[in-house]
Structure 1
Amino acid sequence: MRFSPKHLLSLALVFALILTILPAAGNAESRPNADTRAGCTVNCHTNNAAFLNADWFNGNITLSDQQIADYVNKLKQYKIKYQFVDVGVLIDSNTASNGSLPAAGYSKLANWIKVSRQTDPNQLIIPALNYGSRAPRVNGVKTPNPNFGTQTFKANLNAAANKLVNTGLQINGSGTFYKADGIHLDIEGFISNDTVLLGTLQYLRDNALANNTNFSQSTPADFGSSPVWSNAFIAQVGAILNQVQPMIYDQMGWGSPIVDAASYQALWTQEVKRYSTALAGTSSKLMPTMPAYEKKTAEDGTVYHDPAVESLYNAAKGLQAAIASPGSANVHGASIFWWSHFAGYHPTVYAPALYQADQSNWLNEWVNHP
């Protein structure tokens, strides 16, 4: 707080002001973690998430306890609170297994939870359940999958969520049960105002996740005037979930107007503000996802992701603009997709020139941004 020499304050008022300021200044945890900037909820710049590599939880890569601790400390270093741990893909079928989650995808999760909490109990472990068959293209036309959202699908998905969050997992099938902190869903492709999806989310909320406070989903982002999800539908989703994470990181290709840094930053500002407005009447927290992954080219030669355009730097710039704009967007935090790239664990795929820039920009343009 600054005082103008033109203001003549009484000594009593000065002391009162000092007493008001001292508790915050004396609290080491409130700087820079506490965030009261317009457009941020508390800890907006440090309540962040990261999407973690499936290989760490399915046993494809064997991690020692020390390696897990090192990985968790690196998450802490970059102000990550929510670990979205990829535990596999839900089964798509017309059989009794429809919607179930293969146990192999989380075979090593129990030990990760144990060591992670020993290393940093403030980080939350949230299994991410994937499903990419919501609306496959049939003869070039996006078609709703009849297997999705059936009673069998919902019951099996609910059973998986209940096991991960409420029952817990054991290390090698014995001993302590380790429970995850919530559930994240990545259900694609998106269809307009998907009432079947809405019913599936509500089923989980009414059953396995009735008392959970970390239920979240990846959601669509749009650059057009007719978005896939209307504001009213986003509000309905937000009334069920605790966190909403629009996938603004992947918007290039096939006639998209996202072709350069300016258009990508503008998209971020637009969508963050739109989601903030749509979620205003709900308790859901807005956590848009920033990109950290390599150049992607389709079979027809279309570049649908270019880190020179869809970069963490440009995402952060657009997000900051949304927060600073009139009627500033209300943001809880941001997430990183993928963490393994951002952290430099795959330098042959995501080169040092990219991940080192991401790490610097994440801190300078987001976490420590004035």
Structure 2
Amino acid sequence: MKKVSFRPILIATIAVVLCSSGLIGAQRANAAAQNVAAGKTPTSNAALINASLATDGASNNSNSFAEAGTGKKYIQIDFGGNYYLNKILLWHYYADSRTYKDVVVKLSESATFSSATTVFNNDVDNSSGQGAGSDAEYAETAAGKTITFNPVKARYLRIYSNGSNINTYNHYVEAQAWTIDNSYRANNVTFTNPEWVMTPQTDAFIQDVVNKMNAYKIKYQMIDVGFFDRDSETGQYDDINGQPIDGTMSWYAYDELENWVNKSRQYAPDMKLIGVVNGNKSLHVQGLPYTDKNNVLHTPAVSKATMQDNIAAHCAFLVNYYGLDGINLDFEPVSAGAASTDYRQLIQKVRTAIGPNKHLSIDGNPFAAYMPDNEIAQFGAMLDMIVMMDYDTADLNVPAYPANPSSTNATNYKLAIKENTKRISSALPASCAFIPLGPGDYGFTDVHKSYENAQNHSVAVNDAIMEGARVAGSGVWWFSASMNNATETQQFNDFWINGTP
């Protein structure tokens, strides 16, 4: 049997999330959320009694509190360094469900609060002089008050109050300041070169690749295992060689896949190994004739339903025979304005074939013209993950983003990625992980521009995170060149793995 092509189509764009380093004293990457107020001794503009009780971690005893005198007072907590925070938990005395007045919560990098961010304020008449607030007063309970907000960089927390409806005293049972969960920075994705599983590789080579993936904190190794109905030696579709285009793939195209999987598991036991299957959206997803760049027409030899059944069966074979952790479908997004129903039908068939407990993801174009919010929501309900392609966004013949879905320079590239990251995050259900996958080094220059790099992409996605976007990780497309590119590696390390948002 002849081999079929595993040469991927590099038309779309993949999105990653990176971030800035060099913020001395700021929270480092890969950390789960932590209460940075714990054990710190508060100060106050009052004679503070039993100060340590406000940060001792105990909130279950309303009679265990710090007291900050009467009238308009505050307590202040120094975390000892800058952190990115997105949640404050606060307990005043709560045994009698009293309501404390003029509660104002501020964060700052300065001990004098010369510049500060207010995250809660129920002082509606500005009687405490901290600005009029719009938050509602609340009755104290054993559950405390949870205040959430977009990430704020701060070293100091200041909490004001002005007595309660019971008396003029200010009591603090517990105050907690929670950092953002940065563990997603070690939840990254990359895509391999299909030739790595088409031809024999030495153990030393595989170990070198996997070690470099470990340095990139890769959790999901997307192993490219081929392109349906293409010849591996010529890159031509099967119908050119007299064989039908029917959604099949030659076994010989990944003779070394088993060895690659076994060695990857040996060198990185916790890494998820996902088989990436490629296809043509017209032929394999929509069941339509396709005219290639040489003006050659290719026509499916089977019905759309049969084509998708064959693809789903092959995905099940890959998962079951090679022991893969799941499948990634890289068929590129459907054309702008085209219905996504056919792709969802294919996804459902693959899900049924591989089973409910295996990973299933797709790659997509981040622009709304290709994947509008309603379709993202529908895809997300069916998938474990969507990887958005945040590169090859350039079209120099049209106006810059946001006038159209393209970018022409670093400024509007970063704007496009930031705004789409926020949009996609809002549209996706929480059950579906969102990976904005960033540009890597792969040599094409027609639409892949120099400003599409790890630094600019990470800045854009981190800006989106700071404005409330939810991402599950990042990564790089694709790995074979980026892993040996010192600039790309350093940018990914500095701006994502070791960075701060």
TM-score range, shorter chain: 0.7 to 0.9
Structure-2 change in CA distance of 1:213 and 1:13 (3 Å): farther
Partners of 1:129 and 1:184 within 8 A in 2: yes
Structure-2 change in CA distance of 1:198 and 1:133 (3 Å): closer
**Structure 1 counterpart of 2:432:** 284
Cα deviation, 1:112-145, whole Å, max 9, x if unaligned, reads 111111111111111111113527458999x997
The residue matched to 2:183 in structure 1 has which SS? coil
1:331: how far off? Answer: 0.2
**Structure 1 counterpart of 2:332:** 188
Given residue 197 of structure 1, which amino acid in structure 2 is its aligned partner? Answer: Y
| Distance in 1 separating the partners of 2:303 and 2:205 | 38
CA-atom RMSD in angstroms: 3.0
Is 86-95 or 264-273 further displaced after alignment? 86-95
Cα deviation, 1:80-118, whole Å, max 9, x if unaligned, reads 111011111012778776112222232111111111111
Structure-2 change in CA distance of 1:278 and 1:145 (3 Å): farther
Given residue 252 of structure 2, which amino acid in structure 1 is its aligned partner? Answer: A
**Structure 1 counterpart of 2:14:** none
Structure-2 change in CA distance of 1:320 and 1:126 (3 Å): same
The residue matched to 2:270 in structure 1 has which SS? coil
The one of 361, 364, 367 equivalent to 2:491 is 361
1:11: how far off? Answer: 5.0
| Distance in 2 separating the partners of 1:145 and 1:248 | 31
Structure-2 change in CA distance of 1:148 and 1:264 (3 Å): farther
Cα deviation, 1:269-298, whole Å, max 9, x if unaligned, reads 01111111110x35110001111124534x
Partners of 1:53 and 1:86 within 8 A in 2: yes
**Structure 1 counterpart of 2:183:** 43
Given residue 164 of structure 1, which amino acid in structure 2 is its aligned partner? Answer: L
Partners of 1:41 and 1:330 within 8 A in 2: no
The one of 69, 81, 84 equivalent to 2:207 is 69
**Structure 1 counterpart of 2:197:** 57
Cα deviation, 1:160-187, whole Å, max 9, x if unaligned, reads 1111112x23xxxxxxxxx011101110
Structure-2 change in CA distance of 1:13 and 1:243 (3 Å): same
The residue matched to 1:267 in structure 2 has which SS? helix
Given residue 304 of structure 1, which amino acid in structure 2 is its aligned partner? Answer: V
| Distance in 1 separating the partners of 2:50 and 2:363 | 52
| Distance in 1 separating the partners of 2:298 and 2:434 | 27
What does 1:128-277 correspond to in 2, within 5 Å?
Answer: 128-134=276-282, 136=290, 150-166=304-320, 168-169=321-322, 179-188=323-332, 190-191=334-335, 192-205=338-351, 207-222=352-367, 227-253=369-395, 254-255=397-398, 257=400, 258-277=407-426
Structure 1: gaps (5+ residues): 18-34, 170-178, 298-302, 345-354
**Structure 2 counterpart of 1:89:** 227
Partners of 1:235 and 1:282 within 8 A in 2: no
| Distance in 1 separating the partners of 2:254 and 2:443 | 29
What does 1:295-306 correspond to in 2, within 5 Å?
Answer: 296-297=444-445, 303-306=446-449
Is 36-45 or 151-160 further displaced after alignment? 36-45
Given residue 237 of structure 1, which amino acid in structure 2 is its aligned partner? Answer: F
| Distance in 2 separating the partners of 1:79 and 1:267 | 26
**Structure 2 counterpart of 1:30:** none
Partners of 1:132 and 1:189 within 8 A in 2: no
1:368: how far off? Answer: 1.5
Partners of 2:245 and 2:299 within 8 A in 1: no
| Distance in 2 separating the partners of 1:146 and 1:98 | 6
Q: TM-score, normalised by structure 1?
A: 0.77
The residue matched to 2:343 in structure 1 has which SS? helix
Cα deviation, 1:280-327, whole Å, max 9, x if unaligned, reads x35110001111124534xxxxx3111x211111110100000001xx
The residue matched to 1:44 in structure 2 has which SS? helix
The residue matched to 2:398 in structure 1 has which SS? coil
How many residue pairs are counted as aligned between the two chains? 317
Given residue 264 of structure 2, which amino acid in structure 1 is its aligned partner? Answer: S
The residue matched to 2:190 in structure 1 has which SS? strand
Structure-2 change in CA distance of 1:259 and 1:116 (3 Å): same
Higher relative contact order (CA 8 A, sep 6+): 2
1:113 and 2:258 equivalent?
no
1:49: how far off? Answer: 0.5
**Structure 2 counterpart of 1:31:** none
**Structure 1 counterpart of 2:462:** 320
Partners of 2:454 and 2:495 within 8 A in 1: no
The residue matched to 1:270 in structure 2 has which SS? helix
Partners of 2:385 and 2:435 within 8 A in 1: yes
Of the two, which has the highest radius of gyration? 2
The residue matched to 1:240 in structure 2 has which SS? coil
1:357: how far off? Answer: 1.8
Sequence identity of aligned pairs in percent?
A: 26
The residue matched to 2:329 in structure 1 has which SS? strand
| Distance in 2 separating the partners of 1:145 and 1:323 | 44
| Distance in 1 separating the partners of 2:300 and 2:279 | 14
1:267: how far off? Answer: 0.9
Given residue 160 of structure 1, which amino acid in structure 2 is its aligned partner? Answer: H
Partners of 2:189 and 2:475 within 8 A in 1: yes
1:334: how far off? Answer: 0.9
Partners of 1:127 and 1:183 within 8 A in 2: yes
Q: TM-score, normalised by structure 2?
A: 0.58
1:330 and 2:470 equivalent?
yes
Partners of 1:134 and 1:189 within 8 A in 2: no
